[in-house]
Amino acid sequence: MIPTIIRRILSAIVVLFCVATVAFVLVRLSGDPVKLMLPPDATAQQETTLRASLGLDRPLWTQYLDYLAGLPRLRFGDSLVYGQPVAEVLLARVPATAELAAAALALTLLIAVPAGTFAALHRGRAGDSGVMGAVLIGQSTPVFWIGILLILVFAVRLQWLPASGYGGLDHLVLPAVTLALYSVAVVARLLRSSLIDVLGSDYIRTATAKGLRTRTVVGVHALRNAALPVVTVVGLEIGSLLGGAILTEQVFSWPGIGRLTVEAIQNRDFPLVQGTVLFFAAIFVLVNLLVDLSYTVLDPRVRLT
DSSP output for 247-266: HHHHHTT--SHHHHHHHHHH
Q: Is the pTM of this model over 0.85?
A: no
Domain boundaries along the sequence of the chain = 95-304
Query: pLDDT, tens digit, for every residue of 5-14?
Result: 778 788 888 8
Amino acid residing at 61: W
Are 33 and 268 a contacting pair, CB within 8 Å? yes
Q: What's the rounded mean pLDDT across residues 37-51?
A: 76
Count the Cβ atoms, other than its own, within 10 Å of residue 101.
27
pLDDT reported for residue 180: 87
Q: What was the pLDDT predicted at 152?
A: 92
For residue range 140-174, list pLDDT tens digits in order.
888 888 889 999 999 899 888 888 888 778 888 99
What value does the mean pLDDT take over residues 90-115?
88
Between CA 252 and CA 165 the distance in angstroms is 6
Q: Are 92 and 255 in contact (CB under 8 A)?
A: no
% the chain with pLDDT above 70 = 87
Which superfamily does CATH assign the domain made up of 95-304 to?
MetI-like (1.10.3720.10)
Q: 212: phi > 0 → left, psi -120 to 50 → alpha, else beta; which?
A: beta
What pLDDT is recorded for position 3? Answer: 73
Mean per-residue pLDDT of the chain: 81
Residues 215-221: what's their mean pLDDT? 67
3-state SS, residue 162? coil
- Give the pLDDT confidence score for residue 244 in this predicted structure: 60
Higher pLDDT, 16 or 33: 16
- Rounded Cα–Cα distance for residues 95 and 19 (Å): 24
Confidence bin at 304 (pLDDT 50/70/90): very low
**Res 221: pLDDT:** 63
pLDDT tens across 60-75, in order? Answer: 888 888 888 888 888 8
Banded pLDDT at 212 (limits 50, 70, 90): low
172-207 pLDDT, tens digit each: 899 999 888 888 888 888 888 888 877 767 666 676
Query: Considering only CA atoms, which of 134, 173, 169, 142 is closest in space to residue 155?
Result: 173
Q: pLDDT digits over 241-296, tens only?
A: 776 677 888 888 888 888 888 888 888 888 899 998 888 888 888 887 777 777 66
Across 226-253, average pLDDT: 76
* Residue 297 reports pLDDT greater than 70: no
